[in-house]
Chains A and B, each alone.
Chain A
Amino acid sequence: SQQGEEDPQALSIQEGENATMNCSYKTSINNLQWYRQNSGRGLVHLILIRSNEREKHSGRLRVTLDTSKKSSSLLITASRAADTASYFCATDAVQGAQKLVFGQGTRLTINP
């Protein structure tokens, strides 16, 4: 079954506000990654967090991982219009085939 599920499916906020997206998964993982997809483009890697890490930062991005709840969150601070995109979490499971499994994504719209 699908590994990651994002929540909410869509999020619309004003420029300058913070945006938080959540991801839940079902089985034990080695790591969790977040990707961004602009309309009509390929996915771009944002950040990778390993199963033994709890929090990671990269610029305006903050990712948390709670392996006990099998969930992760992506926080984008001080959002900009250019952050408008779909955001996907992806996991690779400890057991089973070595592959990245993606969630359905959160469509983020930043209103100027």
Chain B
Amino acid sequence: DTAVSQTPKYLVTQMGNDKSIKCEQNLGHDTMYWYKQDSKKFLKIMFSYNNKELIINETVPNRFSPKSPDKAHLNLHINSLELGDSAVYFCASSQVAWGTEAFFGQGTRLTVV
């Protein structure tokens, strides 16, 4: 079984559309994250949730809205997509908020045209 799974793997959409990326972890972890990896491979944290509560929001535009219905799921909804949103988005989870290894999903490659 995949530990951290995110869907879809690829997403191509037009500017102005709204899209969602789903993430689920079956590791029983308390903390989940969204990271954005740009074309230069720079990986930057966007959000962190601990037991369904938002603990980190890294100056991400409010067009990005994470939702955690339970601690095994952290979905990312993006409104009014822009060309600059094109990137690979990774979901990850860890046992606790820090000090332990993070497990990553396979990534969602978002292309905005």
Give A contacts to B, CB under 8 Å.
Answer: 30-31, 33, 35, 37, 40-45, 48, 86, 88, 90, 92, 97-102, 104-105, 107
Contacts and interface: CB of A to CB of B under 8 A. Distances in A.
A48 B91 CA distance: 20
Contacts of B103: 45
12 contacts: A31-B99, A42-B90, A42-B105, A45-B102, A48-B101, A97-B55, A98-B56, A99-B56, A102-B44, A104-B40, A104-B42, A105-B41
Contacts of A101: 45
A30 B98 contact: yes
B45 A100 contact: yes
B102 A98 contact: no
A45 B101 contact: yes
Contacts of A102: 35, 42-44
B48 interface: yes
A38 to B, nearest CB: 10
B104 A100 contact: no
Contact of B41 (A30, A33, A104): A104
Contact of A98 (B4, B90, B97): B97
Interface string B54-79: 01101000000000000000000000
- Of A30, A43, A48, A107, chain B has the most CB atoms within 10 Å of the CB of A43
A86 B43 CA distance: 12
Contacts of B44: 102
A-B complex: 8 closest residue pairs judged by Cβ atoms = A42-B104, A98-B98, A45-B101, A102-B43, A98-B97, A43-B104, A92-B98, A42-B106
A86 B41 contact: yes
B18 to A, nearest CB: 25
A44 B104 contact: yes
B107 A42 contact: yes
Contacts of B56: 97-99
Contacts of B98: 30, 92, 98-100
